[in-house]
Structure 1
């Protein structure tokens, strides 16, 4: 019996398709190109973290951990959130270690949302946020926000809020736009959340990737915000361990407890030996690790943005994260192969052997991303230099 035709799948599975990002990865691999599409940071993992992983495996740290994570790691995360993020958390019981920040987002979303709820998502959005929210059965209301130079407008959000609105998703620094929310913008959002009794899920995975003296402000650090916020982050981006799948959420005890139980139901626990290894991020790395990371990414940002400008893109330089969401509308008027984002993505693969992500991936209406491509610059400098040289050679 052919199960693919004889057995109908659930509606939540029937709608799933390979993302444009994954598709581009495959196409770039086929031509032996350089992938600036998928947000895979392929820089080396810091040696102290690798050493801790080896030690944990040698010590046979192999059984299930507590569903919310080993206590030493939860305590270390708690201390980091209290100091760097200025959260008023007081106990490791408020910390849940998940299977990546995406896994933590899944646990948070399924803890908070269900059919009949409405949730606000800002555009351009990260596709996994949208897709996971849809799986909860909640209805998404999209609110335009824009890129690094845009300013949050509470009135626009106010129009999107209805009697069923329960939550809002904030991504700062943002993927794909590179926008960093200011303290003033977050205060304005918090005022709205209080008036309408909303909860926030904040994805702060790029919290250390900041440029031009921008500061990272956690919504939950503002007075009166912590009790209505789930703060999400992780280790993948800052410590170059995207495949390890280690993230976490911090929330008030009643929410954290249910989120931890949801994490148990969905994943049992995060990989235990890697939880032990993650302690090195707090205990073994040099004090200057983050400042050096920021300096290195600033160099990459300059290389990527200047190259795109040279070949005709309009480039809003990101204030945070490690992506550029650039416009090629002017280029489309003078050069073949740039009729829209899908065509431009194909043209870059075929003529420069460079992968990017179509703008439509980040909007409810694909037309809003028609003249945009996203580029990831989380690459080793020689690889990024080669990618930029290929772009200049093809289109300069």
Structure 2
């Protein structure tokens, strides 16, 4: 869709790129890293200043004490950390429980490694699930569950009670829980992010994955990390060395500076700014008859595009692009079956003037 959007010179609300300015401390830290000679390979699990800063962040945000020398692996983005975790801890033929709608990279990564995703659909409109839904997905090959909270693409923020249900399920079947928490600071309407690893019994079985692409608006820097028990961190680090060698050294210094110098006000402003964008964009979707699922977190909304011409989500998304110049992702990209054919995902993490222009363009549907 990004390629098609460029073809027509449209506004790209398909790709999940945050248009916030990169914070000054992050840029300055990277430049200082270069000036100070941080331009060669790092240790396989990342530079100590960044691992130390991540450990401090985890303690501040969740109260957990993690050892920067043995429980943190810095990798080439959150997707890189997830790939290395799968390589280290899962085998071909293993099965992993995946909530649906899902983030495509999770599923594609596992399938590339011969790992079978088993889907648990979240029930609309509130994206709910039951203990029975989880139990029905288990076989003797089940080894893990993957949890994305706040979730891409539906914006669900899993509650503490839901996470407790997942924790009980994981413990009863002795499963790893891979968590993708990269949108943890994009929370709306007073919601809180509960780190699954903080729940009783979950610290050892949780592989917590996050990164800096979204909150520091540095998607192109490719910086992410995994936090987990030392027994799992070592093999994850070995595969990180094998596949990526290391994440970019001076850019690690930039991320460390951001973690150390940006306080709670920065993260609160990120959430506040994106809630305004969410409210504006969802109001326009309602106005033009593309009813949105208003997200609780992250910076996407799934909208009902069944009123648009076409028999598939892709055809409807292409009609929208050709008619309004606004690109979205067809909803079937997030489902194994046909459940997503009436949906499309829009990313509203754009500069306000760009988002307002997209809204004006979308109103052409009513004028047409």
Q: Do the structures match in fold with TM over 0.5?
A: yes
Q: Measure how far apart 1:286 and its partner are.
A: 4.5
Q: Which residue of 1 aligns with 2:234?
A: 257
Runs of 4+ in 1 over 3 A off after TM superposition: none
SS in 2 for 1:375: strand
Q: Which residue of 1 aligns with 2:344?
A: 373
Q: For residues 49-88 of structure 1, what are the structure 2 equivalents within 5 Å? A: 49-88=26-65
1:205 paired to 2:179: no
SS in 2 for 1:120: strand
Q: Which residue of 1 aligns with 2:224?
A: 247
Q: Matches of 2:98 and 2:89 in 1, distance apart? A: 15
Change (3 A) 1:283 1:147: farther
Q: Which residue of 1 aligns with 2:318?
A: 346
1:394 paired to 2:365: yes
Moved more, 78-87 or 340-349: 78-87
- Which of 32, 37, 45 aligns to 2:22? It is 45
TM-score (norm 2): 0.97
Q: Say if 1:113 and 1:137, in contact at 8 Å, map to a contact too.
A: no
Q: Which residue of 2 aligns with 1:92?
A: 69
Change (3 A) 1:286 1:187: closer
Q: Measure how far apart 1:282 and its partner are.
A: 1.7
Q: Which residue of 2 aligns with 1:382?
A: 353
Q: Which residue of 2 aligns with 1:161?
A: 138
Q: Measure how far apart 1:92 and its partner are.
A: 3.3
TM-score (norm 1): 0.90
Q: Matches of 1:299 and 1:123 in 2, distance apart? A: 27
Q: Say if 1:148 and 1:178, in contact at 8 Å, map to a contact too.
A: no
- Which of 200, 203, 219 aligns to 1:226? It is 203
Q: Matches of 1:237 and 1:147 in 2, distance apart? A: 26
1:360 paired to 2:305: no
Stretches of structure 1 lacking an aligned partner (at least 5 in a row): 1-23
Q: Measure how far apart 1:303 and its partner are.
A: 1.1
**Number of paired residues?**
367
Stretches of structure 2 lacking an aligned partner (at least 5 in a row): none
Q: Say if 2:94 and 2:115, in contact at 8 Å, map to a contact too.
A: yes
Moved more, 147-156 or 32-41: 147-156
Change (3 A) 1:237 1:289: same
